[in-house]
Amino acid sequence: ERLTRPGRIVASGASAGGMLVGAAVNMRPDLFGGVYAEVPFVDCLNTLLDRDLPLTEASFSEFGNPIESRADFVNIQSYSPYENVRAQAYPPMLISQSLNDSRVPYWEAAKWAAKLRHLKTDDNPVILYIKMRGGHSGGSGRFDNLEDYARAYAFALGITARGRMTRPPTPW
């Protein structure tokens, strides 16, 4: 339909939607001008292999059980964003995570950001923003969610207004 072109799309996803965005940017980073991932479930394989985490068993019906099924293990490994980061150019990324998230632990986003920074072959920023208040569903303060929206929009507008950015906007 020619509604956009590569490099002008800012992908956004939260939780399992963050997993989808992470998988897509690993596969075709050239399509995206930027990525905003909020509380992203990006270390899928390691999380689903750890029965001690509170939601692992409940997630088997949605994602498969890599502990008991070799086919599920291979399938999850094929799309898990953390497992598939490789040496290539990535668009600017803003990864937002809550320290007290009981569904997606903060270390998933931190590990993903660290691996991206280590392996990527460009100068685009990978920003990891850890929120000290709130949880998986957002902030706990009166204006926390509004600040989250402002941060995400400032990031996306900074990219789309200028093309690929070299410096992240700093609305915080």
SS3 102: coil
Backbone angles phi, psi at 130, to 5 degrees: -100, 120
The model's pLDDT over 29-66, given as tens digits with 9 standing for 90+, comes to: 999 999 999 989 999 999 999 988 877 888 898 899 99
Distance CA 73, CA 77 (A): 6
At 135 the pLDDT is 58
Q: What is the pTM of this model?
A: 0.85
Give the residue numbers marked as catalytic.
15, 101, 136
What residue spans define the domains of the chain?
9-43+80-162
Strands (E), 1-138: 9-14, 32-38, 93-98, 126-131
Domain 9-43+80-162, CATH class in plain words:
alpha beta
